[in-house]
Each structure stands twice: as C-alpha cells, then as structure tokens.
Chains A and B, each alone.
Chain A
Amino acid sequence: MYTAPKYQALALACAAFFAAAAAPAAPANAAAAVAAAASNGPRAEVIHWWTSGGESAAVKQVAQAYRAAGGVWVDTAIAGGDQSRAVTVNRIVGGNPPTAAQFNTSKQFFDIVEQGMLNNVDDVARAQNWDKLLPEPIVSVIKVDGHYYAVPLNIHMQTWIWYSKAAFQKAGIAKEPASVPEFFAALDKLKAAGIVPLAHGGQPWQETILFSAMLSNLGGRDLYLKVLRERDPKAIASPAFRNVLLAYKRLQGYVDPRSPGRNWNDATAMVIGGKAGMQIMGDWAKGEFTAAKQVPEQQYGCIAGLAPNAPYLMQGDVFVFPKTRNAQALQAQKLLASVVVAPNTQLAFSKLKGSVPVRSDVDASQADACARKGIAIMKDRSRHLGVSEVYLTPDQNGALQDVLTAYWNTNMTVEKAQKNIAAALGE
C-alpha cells in the first residue's frame, strides 16, 4: 500500500498554500491604507464607472476638490454602467454600501429611493436653491416626494450633430443644416460626393440616439413628451410619430454597411478622418476630436439642433448616497454633495468630461466653442428636455430600445414598430 510520507508531503503543501493565502494584503493596498489612516477627514468610498483616460482625469478633479475640502476619497471604479450599478445595488442589499455611488440622471435609482435605501441631501439642496439652479428634467428625477436623493454632476447633450469641415467642403455644403429637410439634403450631397454621409455604430443605444434626434427635431417638444413622458397611446399611433419613425429608418440609407456593432468612437474616427460627413452623438465625442488635435469650428463643427428652438436633450450623471446611520459617513455624504455642486468643481469636471455644468451661473468663458453653445442654449429653459431614460423606467427604456433596434435592423413595418413601441411603453 501507499506509505504515509506521500500524504505528509501533501499536508505540508496544503499548509503552505493556506499560509500564502493568509498573507497580508498587497503593497498597493497597504499604501492606501496608510494614507487613509493618516488623515482624519470624512471618508467617502465612491463607486463609479469612469475608467477611461479622459473620464479618469475628470473624476480626479472631483476627488481632488473633495480632498481639498478635508475629506478622504476612496475610489472604487467598475467599468460598465450596468455592472457598476449592479455592484451598488448588491452592496446596498448586502449591508456594505458605499458612501456614494454613480447613477445616470434617470429613473434607475427610483426603486432604491422607494425602498428607503438612500439618504436625502435636502439641506444642501435647499441651501443652494437647486429648484432654481438646476434644469427641470434633472430636478424631476432627483426629487422624489419633495426630497432630494441625488446630487447631479454634469449635463451631457445626447444628440449633437458633429460634422467634418473637410467633408462638407468636398461635398459642397456651404452652411450648416438648420432644419430637418436641410439635414437630409446635406446627407444626400455627402452621399453624392462619395463620402459616408452618417457615421454610425450599430449598437442599440446608438440607434436610440438617432431616434431621439429625429423625435426631438422632427416631432418637436410636445410629441416628444407625449410619447416618452405621458406614454400616450394616441400620440404613439399618430401620423406625426409615424413620420418620425420613417425619418429614423430613412437614416439607415446613409450609413455604411460596416456599421453594425461598431463602437461609437470608431464612428467618430471616421468623421475625424473626413471619411464620413456627420455623426449624431453625445458631447462626450468631443474628447475624440480633442485627442486628435482638432479644434471646434476649425476642423469640425457641432450643431445642437435642427431648428432655432430645438430641444436640448439632457442626460448626465449623479451621485446617490446609500442610507447609513454612521455619523462619519453622513458627514462625508454632505461634504461630497456640496463639493460636487460647487462652481469650481463643476467647471473642472465638465471641461475634462466634455459635458456642461449643471449650474446656470458658471463662468463659461473657459469652455470651448461647442460647450459655450451648449451653455448658451441651457439658459433657455423652454428648450430643456430629458433623454428617454429620464422619463421611462429602465425596463420601459430597454423595451423601447429593443423595438428601435429591431426596426432598424429588420424589415419590420412602421405600423408594427408603432404597435410594439406602444406595447413596450405601456408596461
């Protein structure tokens, strides 16, 4: 039979493994621990999904501002919005919530508010008069039952139209399209000149952007709200909405056959290189142009809307504050909330993120040409609108996206699309 020594060797190996596994944490963590232990300020662990170079630089501004105010910033970055939010929800449920967590300006955290799992930031909100300071779509999602549950960080506009000056010149387009017919005419001219008229990445969220652009520019503010906020079946079945869907599908004739699945920044690269004429994308695309050393109004242009009063579709990011009784954590939350809305932090963050500050009273002179356009438009409250996720629950928004992408990619008739959208939003 087999002798004991073999077993002894195995036992020794096991013991060694356990010893190694129980080894103290890595040096990287140790340094952070030392730093954290050294300072006494309120400690805020923040979960967010800003992991790229530009985003990282932007969130560092917030971290620095928080540190300057005396706090300790503990960074927990998790790429991918839904994964980050999943971790947040699971940690709240698991009893180990972060001090603050990133969500989009949307109904994503509505259920969490309903369950009473968030602290409110009413003191900061009232002290800084958020009702007056912030745009109405933002207030509508962060204010529930009269209490404020999130602090907004920025405002992105979802449906900017970026165009390459070189491509426009080659196609003989003299001035920026200022209406929907002019927009399609410009697309036709680009096509005739052999340039890809519309750079597009075939992913559901990007298709939803195209749809939103058509709904807001062609359908107008009233139809937009009737469909997305009221979810009125009559509005969805109306001829006006039908036209919007047809215009959306018409855009497909202007994208190149390689578009399915393409990442948004690869589409932007097409515009940067002059291979494509236009792209409809949020203002985070500016970072790509800047990285390619292009300057707004010189190599590229940005159009906010296709009508003088075209809606400005706002989306953005907020921090929420999971419920806690820990006095230090409460202090950290309040400090973080006030730091985030401070004008300096707003400017520094938005500059690096490509967004626009949430406050209407910031000094816009430092921003680039496109951001200045955005800030100017923001002053007109009648143009404030939210993107679909501001009005719809995540489930409804997702179901809408499913229909839109199916309509884009298959031979679905427009009537069927209308029917499916009504069903999706009717949940």
Chain B
Amino acid sequence: MSRPIRAVRVRSLTPAVKPYLALLPMALTVIVAYLGTMAWTLRTSFTASRTFASDKFIGLAQYERLFDNERWMLSLHNLALYGVLFILACLVIGFLLAVFIDQNVSGEGVLRTVFLYPYAMSFVATGLVWQWLLTPGTGIDGTIAALGFPGFVFDWIVDQDMAIYTIVIATVWQSAGLVMALMLAGLRGIDADIWKAARLDGIPVWRVYLSIILPMLWPTIATVFLLLATSVVKLFDAVVAMTQGGPGTASEVPAKFIMDHLFLRSNIGLASAGAIMLLVPVVALLAPYAYARSRRSRARGHA
C-alpha cells in the first residue's frame, strides 16, 4: 500500500504529544491510584488510626509494634519459605510438563486443557477443595488407608510446621498449568534448526534442554517469574480458604495479617505499617532488576 509522502512540517508537533495523551490513563492510574494510595498508606502507618484514619501521629510506634508481633514475623518467614518453594515448583513442574508435552505426544490438546484448567478456578475454590483433600482422616489419606495401608496419615494441614507446605501444594496445582502454557509457547518459538544442529553434534537430548534451550527461554522465564512473584506477595484467598491461617497462626501470611488488622481488628495504622513493610523488599528486589533491564535494553536499542 503506497501513499504519497505528506508534508509533515505542520504536523510535526502533534505526533509528539499524542503518545503522552494516550498514556494519560496509565499516568493517572499510576499517580492517583497507586502512588496516591501508597502515600496515604505511608502516612497512616505513622498514626494511631483504628477503624478510620486519624490525625494522631505517633511516629514509628506502629513499626515497633509490628516487629514485636510474633504473628507478623511468622508471616514474613512463611512468605519467604512459600515464595521460594512455590516459584521453584511452578517453574520446574511447568517446564517439565511443557517439555514432555512438546514431545509429539498424542492427546496433547486434552493434556494441555487438563493442566491449564486449574488456573480458571478461583483461589477460594482451590483452597476449599484442597482443604478437603488434605484433611486427615476424611481426605485422601483416609482413602489410601482404606486401600490397604492402615495407619497412613497425611496430616500436614493440621501440623504447626507443615501447614504452609500444603498451601504450596494447592497453589502450585493452580498455577503450574499457566507456567506450562507459557513455557510451551516459548519452546515452540525456538528455531527448529537448533535441534538439527544439536543432533548433528551428537548432544544428548537432556543436555540440549539444559544447556541450550533453557538459556534461550530466559526472557520467558523472567516474565513467568514476575507473574508468579506478584501472586506470592498477594497470597491471601487461598490461605483463608484452606487453613484460615492455622492451625493457630502457623500458616499466617502478610497479606492476611494486613487484611485482618484492616477490618477485623479495626487497626488500619498497624495494617498500613505492615503494607509498607511488605512493599519495601519488593521495591528493593524490583528496582535493581528494572534498572538492569532498562540498561540492557538501551544497549540493545530495543525497549
């Protein structure tokens, strides 16, 4: 489609402004909705606010109380533990599933749907069902015991130390399929010539995956990591549906601590302090990552 080149002199200003105008909704959202609410949260974390925001400033007292709070410290510990396990498990399982599905298996469409459908379930449904499955006695272990392994008990969900791992199981079940889909797409985008070259060189298949394919999938993995990390920090519904943070407070997570204090405990001051504390490591992790990426992309000349 060829068109005569129009004189662009007069219009040279307008194209420069239009992208900014088009990004106005995003700018508004970022500044008002995100930065604005975070500023409000920061301010509230320095006050003695209860059900409503108050103007009584008390300095860092809420933060002190936060760090004296065993439940909060436990929730941070749980989040770190959960985050590492969840992301690792999703990446590994998702990658393995993608690799195996990619092997020209029959019934690929069905398998893909089977692995992907859990992502359509809400966190509440996921937590509910898995709580049922893992309840000792009436859950799966009861069935296994009845099948001929009497005395088989899987009671992680009621164990102080193991409860958090059951949440890993439930949420990995939900998200691994998405990771698989993303990895599969990444795999499919790899040039077929690579495989030919590898075969010519006589490299065993698993080596090809490990040393050649995985590094090539790095951008995919990075995006997947980002998506998974956001759901780690926001983990709330699944915990509430599965263990209510229990037994006791064993599977407490920061988002639940914050939520409980926002509404149930009518202490938005403490909740705000918790929210800011949750954001700090996120920003600390994201900022260098973003900086590194922007430098790299500038070097590549490609956003």
Instruction: State A260–B243 Cα separation when bound (angstroms).
Output: 9
User: For residue B68, which residues in chain A have a CB less than 8 angstroms away from its CB?
Assistant: 423
Task: Check A261 against B243 for contact (C-beta < 8 Å).
Answer: yes
Instruction: State A399–B159 Cα separation when bound (angstroms).
Output: 22
Task: Check A202 against B266 for contact (C-beta < 8 Å).
Answer: no
Closest to B51 in A: A111
Task: Check A260 against B266 for contact (C-beta < 8 Å).
Answer: no
Instruction: State A427–B1 Cα separation when bound (angstroms).
Output: 74
Instruction: State A115–B49 Cα separation when bound (angstroms).
Output: 12
Main secondary structure on chain A at its contact with chain B?
helix
Task: Check B265 against A395 for contact (C-beta < 8 Å).
Answer: yes
Main secondary structure on chain B at its contact with chain A?
loop
CB of B83 within 8 Å of the partner chain: no
Listed stretches A81-89, A216-224, A241-249, A312-320; interface member: A81-89
Known: A111-B50, A395-B50. A82 touches B158 (CB 8 A): no
Partner of A406 from B50, B248, B263 at Cβ < 8 Å: B248
Task: Check B267 against A409 for contact (C-beta < 8 Å).
Answer: no
Partner of B248 from A204, A258, A423 at Cβ < 8 Å: A204
Chain A stretch 91-133: residues in CB contact (< 8 A) with chain B:
93, 108, 111-112, 115
User: For residue B51, which residues in chain A have a CB less than 8 angstroms away from its CB?
Assistant: 89, 111-112, 115
Known: A1-B1, A203-B244, A398-B264. A261 touches B50 (CB 8 A): no
Task: Check B158 against A395 for contact (C-beta < 8 Å).
Answer: no
> How far, in Å, is B92 (CB) from chain A's closest CB?
29
User: For residue B160, which residues in chain A have a CB less than 8 angstroms away from its CB?
Assistant: 409-410
Task: Check A111 against B158 for contact (C-beta < 8 Å).
Answer: no
CB of A405 within 8 Å of the partner chain: yes
> How far, in Å, is B135 (CB) from chain A's closest CB?
8
Interface string of B254-285 (1 = CB under 8 A from A): 00000011111111001000000000000000
Task: Check B265 against A203 for contact (C-beta < 8 Å).
Answer: no
Task: Check B243 against A111 for contact (C-beta < 8 Å).
Answer: no
CB of A402 within 8 Å of the partner chain: yes
User: For residue A233, which residues in chain B have a CB less than 8 angstroms away from its CB?
Assistant: none
Task: Check A260 against B264 for contact (C-beta < 8 Å).
Answer: no
CB of A408 within 8 Å of the partner chain: yes
Instruction: State A115–B53 Cα separation when bound (angstroms).
Output: 10
Instruction: State A83–B157 Cα separation when bound (angstroms).
Output: 25
CB of A64 within 8 Å of the partner chain: no
Instruction: State A86–B160 Cα separation when bound (angstroms).
Output: 29
Interface size for B (C-beta < 8 A) is 33
Instruction: State A328–B131 Cα separation when bound (angstroms).
Output: 47
CB of B71 within 8 Å of the partner chain: yes
User: For residue B52, which residues in chain A have a CB less than 8 angstroms away from its CB?
Assistant: 93, 111, 115
Partner of B158 from A83, A261, A408 at Cβ < 8 Å: A261
> How far, in Å, is A257 (CB) from chain B's closest CB?
8
> How far, in Å, is A78 (CB) from chain B's closest CB?
12
User: For residue A112, which residues in chain B have a CB less than 8 angstroms away from its CB?
Assistant: 51
CB of B102 within 8 Å of the partner chain: no
Instruction: State A258–B159 Cα separation when bound (angstroms).
Output: 10
Max chain B C-beta neighbours (<10 A), residue from A93, A108, A405, A423? A405
Closest to B74 in A: A406
Closest to A87 in B: B263
CB of B186 within 8 Å of the partner chain: no
User: For residue B260, which residues in chain A have a CB less than 8 angstroms away from its CB?
Assistant: 82, 398
CB of A393 within 8 Å of the partner chain: yes
Instruction: State A207–B246 Cα separation when bound (angstroms).
Output: 12
Partner of A258 from B137, B249, B250, B262 at Cβ < 8 Å: B137
Task: Check B263 against A261 for contact (C-beta < 8 Å).
Answer: no
User: For residue B248, which residues in chain A have a CB less than 8 angstroms away from its CB?
Assistant: 202, 204, 207, 260, 405-406, 408-410
CB of A287 within 8 Å of the partner chain: no
User: For residue A82, which residues in chain B have a CB less than 8 angstroms away from its CB?
Assistant: 260, 263-264
Task: Check A402 against B249 for contact (C-beta < 8 Å).
Answer: yes
> How far, in Å, is B163 (CB) from chain A's closest CB?
8
Partner of A409 from B135, B247, B261, B270 at Cβ < 8 Å: B247
Known: A111-B50, A112-B51. A260 touches B71 (CB 8 A): no
Partner of A204 from B136, B157, B246, B265 at Cβ < 8 Å: B246
Task: Check A89 against B263 for contact (C-beta < 8 Å).
Answer: yes
User: For residue B270, which residues in chain A have a CB less than 8 angstroms away from its CB?
Assistant: 395
Chain B stretch 41-71: residues in CB contact (< 8 A) with chain A:
50-52, 65, 68, 70-71
Instruction: State A409–B159 Cα separation when bound (angstroms).
Output: 9
Closest to B243 in A: A261
Contacts A89-B263, A395-B270, A427-B65 known; 16 new A-B pairs at CB < 8 A: A82-B264, A89-B51, A108-B266, A111-B51, A115-B52, A258-B137, A261-B135, A261-B158, A261-B243, A261-B244, A261-B247, A394-B265, A395-B266, A398-B264, A405-B249, A409-B160
Q: Which residues of A contact B (CB under 8 A)?
A: 1, 82-83, 85-86, 89, 93, 108, 111-112, 115, 202-204, 207, 257-261, 393-395, 398-399, 402, 405-406, 408-410, 423, 427
Question: Can you offer 22 A-B residue contacts whose CB atoms are under 8 A?
Answer: A89-B51, A111-B51, A111-B52, A204-B246, A204-B248, A258-B155, A259-B158, A260-B158, A260-B246, A261-B157, A261-B158, A261-B244, A394-B265, A394-B267, A395-B270, A398-B260, A406-B70, A406-B248, A408-B248, A409-B160, A409-B250, A427-B65
